[in-house]
Structure 1
């Protein structure tokens, strides 16, 4: 392997190399990867949070694309809570499904990823049918 010496400002025989200022270039390979890592900024979406003491609908949550959506349910409550998705400005809000079965439907406290969104304009709503207690919710990325 030929070494590239300073003052050469380029590395013609390598597809990718790096080095310190005034130091020889070092080839990139499995044992010497680029000294970088992918950095992803925090999601810019605004979490949907609140409490419900009676049945109702909360939302919308406007997700950032290509990120997971996490639903957190806490409190002392009984009933059914379901995450709904709309792609037509809330004219139609449909339950989430996986393999044809309902998904994102809960009867107890939860903290889990429920969806990944890739369609611009999609909105999420939380539908709760409560029989008692107070539900605290958070839909976020």
Structure 2
């Protein structure tokens, strides 16, 4: 391994920058080969997909997403009706439809496969509010 360049006049100093992440005790720890910067979820961090089929109107959930990872909603089947993705922070007691800049988001009226959300709040959950008029809906919410 080569030596770093020497510090020379006129400054006699060199600024050093290091990245830190939270360790298991909540303290700042310098990123290193022993404690690398986390860059992606591992399979153990990803929750099981919420998967099922329904031919009646129902509320499906909860799906408790891993933080800061995209959530996908896949809908298929010959259903007629609507599906609205909703979010709750109190275990499903109160459901809020997803919106973006005040406009409805995560509302579907037929088959779809889309990224619908990215959660940043611990303990929040996602639900599917399914209003089925006829046919059968197959759903999958996953990360």
Task: Mark yes or no: TM-score above 0.5.
Answer: yes
Unaligned runs of 5+ in 1: 1-8, 16-37
More strand by share: 1
Q: Deviations over 1:19-56 (max 9, x none)?
A: xxxxxxxxxxxxxxxxxxx8632452111000011000
- Any residues of structure 2 matched to 1:1-141 within 5 Å, and which? 9=1, 11-13=3-5, 40=40, 41-42=42-43, 43-141=45-143
TM-score normalized with structure 1 length? 0.73
Number of residue equivalences: 111
Name the stretch that deviates more: 107-116 or 41-50.
41-50
CA RMSD of aligned residues (A): 1.8
Unaligned runs of 5+ in 2: 7-15, 17-37
- Once residues 68 and 83 of structure 1 are traced to their aligned partners in structure 2, the CA distance between those partners, rounded to angstroms, is 14
**Structure 1 residue runs of 4 or more that deviate by more than 4 Å after TM superposition:** none
- Bigger Rg, which one: 1
TM-score normalized with structure 2 length? 0.72
